[in-house]
Structure 1
Amino acid sequence: MGKLSKALGVAGVAVGATYLSKKENRQKLKKQINKGLNKFSKTDVKSWGKPSDVEDAEMVSEGAMTSVQYYNQLQGKSQSE
């Protein structure tokens, strides 16, 4: 199993090197990488994982079920529309 994975790794590196030997392909790859980095930098990393409605999140953390019921009601309304 180890020899097969090494052979596949070497083959992958060879194919990648062959693909990137053309200037046109290198430019395409650079554009795609820059596009991905721009999308990543535009997102607000600080807001990841934070709830959108802070009051509801605080109630849930305190153990209140009213926010869950409210959420379920909103989901029911959106599904019926």
Structure 2
Amino acid sequence: MGKLTKLVGVAGAVAGVTYLSKSEKVKGQFDKAIEKFNSSYMKNLGKPSNIDDAKMVDEGAMTSVQYYNEQQEKSQGES
């Protein structure tokens, strides 16, 4: 009896998910939620609003890369 109950429960869950996935209302709500998330969060991710700030970050990144390259060259020259 336990296996039959589990089988009926799983079949019901699959039928419910299938029904909801075909429902246009549910799809519309899901699409709205994804669009809202993308428009409010993803657009501003990692983009400084001030151009000067963006330049400063870019220059800072290059400084660390240049330092690393110099250290690598020094260590190869000593070998």
Structure number with higher helix proportion: 2
Q: Answer yes or no: same fold by TM over 0.5.
A: no
Larger radius of gyration: 2
Give TM-score, length-normalised by structure 1.
0.34
